[in-house]
Amino acid sequence: MLITPAYAQAAGAGDTNSMLMSLLPFALIFVIMYFLILRPQQKKVKDHAELVKNIRRGDTVVTSGGLVGKVTKVVDDDQIEFEISDGVRVRQMRSMISGVRAKGEPAKDSAKESAKDDAGAK
């Protein structure tokens, strides 16, 4: 079996350009996945963290389990207490809140409120 010089030269030579072209589709797939999957997911996580951080008393929230209630107390950085029915209060982890339906009014200072009531009555 004789191997001609043309076959011997083609088999031994590794072209860097062909190697780059074979890796290009993988790089392109990674870039497409980043922009279509990873980036929107990171934005969604960031928005949810902001939503959870800004929950305050009086907001109407929806939990990931489907309960809808009005926030009565912000216990700490991890928990809130909300009322799902008259007299039925539930403690929930903040991270399990899936959305805020209606924003409540900010809590009023009791001293300012009583002063306004006294001034309005006179």
| Domains along the chain with CATH numbers | 17-105 (2.30.30)
**Helix H or strand E segment including 82:** strand 79-85
What pLDDT is stored for residue 3 in this prediction? 67
Q: Would you call 78 helix, strand, or coil by DSSP?
A: coil
pLDDT, tens only, 92-115: 999 999 999 888 766 565 444 444
Sheet holding 97-102, edge to edge: 88-93, 79-85, 68-74, 60-63, 97-102
Residue 17's pLDDT is 83
Residue 114 confidence (pLDDT): 47
Taking Cα atoms as reference points, which of 97, 90, 18, 104 lies closest to residue 53?
97
Q: pLDDT tens, 26-48? A: 999 999 999 999 999 999 999 99
Query: What is the chain's percent helix, strand, coil content, to nearest 5?
Result: 50, 25, 25
Confidence of residue 82 (pLDDT cuts 50, 70, 90): very high
At 5, which helix (H) or strand (E)? helix 5-12
Whole-number pLDDT of residue 102:
81
* pLDDT (tens digit per residue) in 56-77: 999 999 999 999 999 999 999 8
